Amino acid sequence: MATLGDCTAAEAVSDQPPCATSRPAATANGRCALTTQDHTTAVSCSAAALLPGGGLAGGFESLFLISAFRLARFRIPARRGMLFSVSTPTRRAVLGTAIAPAFLQGQPRKTSRPNVLFIMDDQHRGDCVRADGNRAIHTPHIDRIGNEGARFSRAYSTSPTCTPARSALLTGLSPWNHGMLHMVAMGSKYPYTKPQAMRDAGYYTMGIGKMHYNPQRALHGFHQVLLDESGRAQSPEFRSDYRAWFYSQAPHLNPDATGVGFNDYPAKAYVLPENLHPTYWTGQTAVNFLNGYNRPEPFFMKVSFARPHSPYDPPQRFMDQYKDADLPKAHVGKWAAKNQKRNSDKDDVWRGDLGEAQVRSSRQGYYASISFVDEQVGRIVDALERRGWLEETLIIFTSDHGDMTGDHHLWRKSYAYEASARIPMAMRWPRGMVSTARGQVIDRPVELRDIFPTCLDAAGVEPARKLDGASLLNLARNPKGEWRDAIDLEHGVCYAPENNWNGFTDGRSKYIYHALHGEEQLFDLQKDPGEINDLSGVSASEPLLRQWRQRMVAHLEGRGEKWVKGGRLQTRQAIPKSPNYPAAAG
């Protein structure tokens, strides 16, 4: 049996062309009511299909889209709680042909524009891919993207926490211009967003996984979104698509049974069957989409994994992979002695010397979680390749921010240091899009705001509004050409008042201004990538320190005298939002 629908099998289909679904609202019985964005037909569905293991015979998991058909309203008796079912080929037959089912093969692509596959994960530090030189970690599929395109070795998240980073991705803007200066709720509506711009350019826009939007069912221009929001629920009525699917597969189980919290430092192998893990769900749902996609227009698909963000809960086989691995020890500078004392006796600490053994244990779970994500990335790219679309698709991989995992006795994120702010970023372009050699490593400073204009470049359209980012494709075409020489970094208060800072880096050195007390730090990233030695008090580094300080003055003085007065940086309390935060969100 096969199923189709938005969050699962549709039980009613109009005689109009199927449209984008919007805001499936979970109900007490695990079903959801879908409303449509392009016409008024309502579709009700159960919570299991379109998704991995949605009751399909023989275990074959596929996403069947119905965009090519005009079907009358009907209901077919369901099996295993499904509301709609059709016959499908056997798993062996389908995998043998490695193409979509026959009834989906009638719509040839009618466009020369590339698909855009944007894959991201959550809290993935930049030095935790093997291509970056870390021989302890196994990331062959993420590495492949860069090896067959370009890897950006100096990629940063300007505001390295979830929601401001995702605002940069959504809008292509810097923190001051999109309005989020530290981790507050994302705006409910922005004037110009990546999914809406790609939709306007003629793309079918699909989002899968963690979005972190506000409200949680906001679309921001996506035709369709299938959510994994981890444990977040803005209201008692909310249930993510992942959790609805989970309960349809295992109504007697608890998705949080492993018992590790979403910001905890302990690591523990996932105690449930591996195919119930949210990382697997996200990967399989993306594969399902690719297996069944047959619309004539190109797609823009965002696939957003909720891991390796804690809980560090990978399957046991990945924990075993790193059991005896020589994992890097924490970088700890003398300047970090102030961070030794734990801020709490709970497991969700953000500061504290937890000892070498605990750092290694946490990193075992963290590395294992990354490799689990990497495996899913490989499955997604393989599905793309089986459809014959590899050379018709721009693939981008990155993360929203990093994870300190004990460096300088710090945990989690929100810091200016490399473990928190530097992220992996790789891009593979279709044949003919970029004439320069594949496999290049580009060391120019890039940032999340650059993803939006890159997608527009691939689509062949100009931005409708001014963006702060620039196209990575242009940089790949001419790596030595005109580009920014440095990137600004910024985060307001997170965890404690003293964690309130601005920074600049060109990838070779980094300047940090701690705004609460006016302290400065300076690091030589070429000689000291672990930021062990703070050079701000070294006389030989004074000219470089002064240069960065003056650049920061020029960067901030337009914000007013609370930021710069008389040509001097001011100490200040943090503000959560700039005047550019969208008013519609409050």
Predicted confidence (pLDDT) per residue in 375-411, tens digit: 999 999 999 999 999 999 999 999 999 999 999 999 9
**Is residue 468 domain-shared with residue 528, that is, in the same domain?**
no
At 192-225, the pLDDT tens digits run 999 999 999 999 999 999 999 999 899 999 999 9
The one-letter amino acid at 322: Y
19 is catalytic: no
**Is residue 481 domain-shared with residue 496, that is, in the same domain?**
no
**Is residue 437 domain-shared with residue 369, that is, in the same domain?**
yes
The count of structural domains within the chain is 3
On the question of pLDDT at 17 being above 50, the answer is no
Task: Report CA Rg, the chain.
Answer: 24
**Is residue 499 domain-shared with residue 414, that is, in the same domain?**
no
Question: Which phi and psi angles does 305 have, rounded to 5°?
Answer: -80, 140
**Is residue 372 domain-shared with residue 507, that is, in the same domain?**
no
* Residue in 248, 195, 183, 186 with CA at minimum distance from that of residue 221: 195
On the question of pLDDT at 61 being above 80, the answer is no
Q: What is the CATH number of the domain that holds 368?
A: 3.40.720.10
**Is residue 201 domain-shared with residue 222, that is, in the same domain?**
yes
Q: What is the CATH number of the domain that holds 563?
A: 3.30.1120.10
Can you say how many angstroms the Cα of residue 251 is from the centroid of all Cα atoms in its chain?
Answer: 28
On the question of pLDDT at 372 being above 90, the answer is yes
Domain-terminating residue out of 86, 106, 126: 106
Question: Which phi and psi angles does 38 have, rounded to 5°?
Answer: -95, -20
Banded pLDDT at 51 (limits 50, 70, 90): low
Q: For tokens 């279709």, what's the residue?
A: 430
Banded pLDDT at 12 (limits 50, 70, 90): very low
- Structure confidence at residue 383 (pLDDT): 98
Taking the C-alpha atoms of residue 45 and residue 24, their distance in angstroms, rounded to an integer, is: 9
DSSP β-ladder status, 501-505 and 509-514 = antiparallel
- 8-state DSSP, 527: T
**Is residue 398 domain-shared with residue 461, that is, in the same domain?**
yes
At 129-146, the pLDDT tens digits run 999 999 999 999 999 999
Biggest CA–CA distance in the chain, Å, is: 79
Phi-psi region of 181 (alpha: psi -120 to 50; beta: other; left: phi over 0): alpha
At 315-347, the pLDDT tens digits run 999 999 999 999 999 999 999 999 999 999 999
**Is residue 182 domain-shared with residue 58, that is, in the same domain?**
no
**Is residue 467 domain-shared with residue 498, that is, in the same domain?**
no
Angle (CA) 202 207 211, round 5°? 130
**Is residue 312 domain-shared with residue 442, that is, in the same domain?**
yes
Report which secondary-structure segment, H or E, holds 474. helix 472-477
- Structure confidence at residue 21 (pLDDT): 33
* Residue in 419, 102, 146 with CA at minimum distance from that of residue 292: 102
Q: For tokens 């990137």, what's the residue?
A: 487
Look up the domain containing 289 and give its range.
115-486
At 535-550, the pLDDT tens digits run 999 999 999 999 999 9
Of 124, 212, 223, 331, the active-site residue reads 212
pTM passes above 0.85: no
408 is catalytic: no
Taking the C-alpha atoms of residue 301 and residue 195, their distance in angstroms, rounded to an integer, is: 9
Calculate what percentage of the chain has a pLDDT beyond 70: 81
**Is residue 291 domain-shared with residue 393, that is, in the same domain?**
yes
Of 128, 162, 455, 494, the active-site residue reads 162
Domain-terminating residue out of 63, 88, 106: 106
**Is residue 202 domain-shared with residue 319, that is, in the same domain?**
yes
Domain-terminating residue out of 106, 140, 161: 106
Contact 237, 250 (CB under 8 A): no
At 284-309, the pLDDT tens digits run 999 999 999 999 999 999 999 999 99
